Structure 1
């Protein structure tokens, strides 16, 4: 019988790695947390609601990334129990989201869910950051081994409720700044210098001591690109699937009719088309991206944005199903059209970075993928949500058609 906390060492290290069952289980729990964020936009579809939604989404993504990269580096040494403890933390965070949304957005005064969420986030991130073997420095994305961004979250436990989101924003901002500013190579040199200086100090204090006892060996480690691209692609697929679930759940409570059927089909076509652009014609879940074209840090940053946009789109589509043939309010229309424009804007960025398209194709992507959704948001004030979804689905299908004609299928990630 295999001990859950015993690392599995493959017999042939050259065997191509794929996501393990435990990693897939972990991804599902993380996406369940992202799905819980629908409670935030369901309460307030304004700047405050979007701000809280973004902050909470980033907490789930950063927590997921910490454990995902641990599994990527550890490979056969990954501890299943460690992943499951991380899942418990994510589960507690997800269960606390509705209470956090009610309290932070001024719909309630119960501070307990807020405190539970903050403690669970702190514990999950800290535990994940200490998953690495002693002496390992992740060169590609070192922010997961830092805790500086958690300090404002810790302070927020004792701060008045109206200041909590500000401190959370500062904490997340520090993490994002570290992603941009911290170099893995420089960090490795700093840590090596620190341990070398510490060892020299200990030798001076003990003149008779031998050369041993210099502390742990510090080494830089890098991600497995193939395994990373698979995990990123799978996460996008699961988020798309969760968006389909939200549409189905909204349809179950709506009045049955031809209009509902048309809206449901259009929403499914739109999400399925995004699957095609991100996975079949993309790489690592990013549309228009080619393998080996951008750095790991850039790929992770773009992945955060793409999955956030897809999750937001799921909320918008479920709202459209609920409104039926009625026109969406301005905030709902802009959320739907803005999310689609953001998705295609990210696709343009990855396409340019991949050098996978000529200027003419890039211009066409900008016009059809960015300009059309923005014009719909600006001008289609009287159009029903159903009409908007159909138009956006046609845009996605047009992009798929052009991709299929001009780009060979790269296969699922």
Structure 2
């Protein structure tokens, strides 16, 4: 640990090509979001309906964006001084407050949720101001970010003191300002692109957190049922789905979009890669709840429409997001894999449409087969002989 007064330093630039990994502080910070994602999943379990799903997404976005804000700051500017540790501790407190208020986040806990988010943004703004003071080269970027995030935070702060539905209108305005703020600083971002090895690892870790919820869902679903043959088979299918999504995501994870932006000056590749992770993790979290609902359903009775659509729609959302991620160039053969992900999404939606009357184990089994096919396609494309002749490069 360094001196309290040591300023943050620019973590990209001359060292941008060096391998860099998440720090222990970043991993510790992630623990709070394990709880937050769990609370979000709990909300969805209580209301598996269109309204319940929309509420789940509405709360998921600020939670995800809170994590993004701290992660992107640490990617560019970081230090291990006491000041940085204390600021991260404050961010952990605000993230914990978010998690505490999620359960009734659209009801009586909404003011607490709004205040927690606003104070979390305030800490991030302090960090950007601090970085701008000590790093003149980054000042145009940090000023733009601090300004945009401050405007958004004001909307969230005000929303805590006015009733619904106007409270949620202000939430929407605030989160839109937050999401578009980086696009107002694209010319500055090109000079300070994210680290090509650190950022994919951080996004992979958050994806792992959400996948962990899917595993917990399988365990919870099995523990709430009697150990019957169909229940065990359905649980195996649930694990197969989680493992397949893990496989196709992490086998194709890398910093190619950042490297492309650095070489060609195309900031949109990084932005597309970053923002597409939102529907991906929403889909994974929703699929985890869907798997649990399938497992606790009566296996001898046809799966209900809401449960079938939750599972299939969430997996389809995952594959649509993966199709976009592959399309922006994560690896060679990305165009071919992007097409297969798109086809996979269509197949899973077809299961939802034509699967009415099917047993829970049948529905989850068909989805598992569709997921395994995606893994098989990646394995096929990875064959040495295929790499030499594939026209889709």
TM bucket (normalised to shorter chain) is 0.7 to 0.9
**Counterpart in the other structure of 2:288:** 314
- Over residues 145-199 of structure 1, what are the superposed CA-to-partner deviations in whole Å (9 max), with x where a residue is unaligned? 62222333222222223333333222222323334x41332699xxxxxxxxxxx
Larger deviation, residues 13-22 vs 389-398 = 13-22
Confirm or deny: 8 A CA contact 1:293 1:353 kept in the other structure: no
> Which runs of no fewer than 5 residues in structure 1 stay unpaired?
104-110, 189-219
Shift of 1:143: 5.0
- Structure 1 pair 186–224 and aligned structure 2 pair: CA distance change class (3 A): closer
Matches within 5 A, 1:212-223: 221-223=192-194
Partner Cα separation in structure 1 for residue 216 and residue 4 of structure 2: 33
Q: Say whether residues 1:122 and 2:118 are aligned partners.
A: yes
Confirm or deny: 8 A CA contact 2:248 2:375 kept in the other structure: yes
Partner Cα separation in structure 2 for residue 318 and residue 148 of structure 1: 40
**Counterpart in the other structure of 1:252:** 223
Alignment RMSD: 3.2
Matches within 5 A, 1:180-219: 181-185=183-187
Partner Cα separation in structure 2 for residue 357 and residue 345 of structure 1: 17
Confirm or deny: 8 A CA contact 1:55 1:172 kept in the other structure: no
Larger radius of gyration: 1
Shift of 1:323: 0.9
Shift of 1:140: 11
Confirm or deny: 8 A CA contact 1:140 1:223 kept in the other structure: no
- With normalisation by structure 2, the TM-score equals 0.81
SS at match of 2:111: helix
**Counterpart in the other structure of 1:323:** 297
**Counterpart in the other structure of 2:102:** 97
Shift of 1:309: 1.2
> Which runs of no fewer than 5 residues in structure 2 stay unpaired?
262-268, 385-393
Shift of 1:315: 1.3
Partner Cα separation in structure 1 for residue 78 and residue 164 of structure 2: 42
Q: Say whether residues 1:70 and 2:73 are aligned partners.
A: yes
**Counterpart in the other structure of 1:61:** 64
Matches within 5 A, 1:21-60: 21-60=24-63
- Structure 1 pair 43–163 and aligned structure 2 pair: CA distance change class (3 A): farther
Confirm or deny: 8 A CA contact 2:258 2:270 kept in the other structure: no
Shift of 1:138: 7.6
**Counterpart in the other structure of 1:297:** 271
Confirm or deny: 8 A CA contact 2:194 2:258 kept in the other structure: no
- Structure 1 pair 365–72 and aligned structure 2 pair: CA distance change class (3 A): closer
Confirm or deny: 8 A CA contact 1:33 1:94 kept in the other structure: yes
- Over residues 347-388 of structure 1, what are the superposed CA-to-partner deviations in whole Å (9 max), with x where a residue is unaligned? 222233228438766544433x02211111111111123222
Q: Which residue among 342, 362, 373 is the counterpart of 1:366?
A: 342
**Counterpart in the other structure of 1:193:** none
**Counterpart in the other structure of 2:153:** 150
Q: Which residue among 185, 191, 206 is the counterpart of 1:235?
A: 206
Residue-pair matches, total: 361
Larger deviation, residues 243-252 vs 138-147 = 138-147
Partner Cα separation in structure 1 for residue 195 and residue 23 of structure 2: 14
Partner Cα separation in structure 2 for residue 15 and residue 342 of structure 1: 34
- Structure 1 pair 348–221 and aligned structure 2 pair: CA distance change class (3 A): closer
Which structure features the higher share of helix residues? 2
- With normalisation by structure 1, the TM-score equals 0.78
Partner Cα separation in structure 1 for residue 98 and residue 44 of structure 2: 17
Larger deviation, residues 23-32 vs 269-278 = 23-32
Partner Cα separation in structure 2 for residue 143 and residue 53 of structure 1: 27
Shift of 1:344: 1.4
Confirm or deny: 8 A CA contact 1:5 1:80 kept in the other structure: no
Confirm or deny: 8 A CA contact 2:312 2:352 kept in the other structure: yes
Shift of 1:314: 1.1
Partner Cα separation in structure 2 for residue 141 and residue 377 of structure 1: 47
Shift of 1:293: 4.6
SS at match of 2:244: helix
- Structure 1 pair 262–4 and aligned structure 2 pair: CA distance change class (3 A): farther
- Structure 1 pair 169–50 and aligned structure 2 pair: CA distance change class (3 A): farther
Partner Cα separation in structure 2 for residue 408 and residue 20 of structure 1: 35
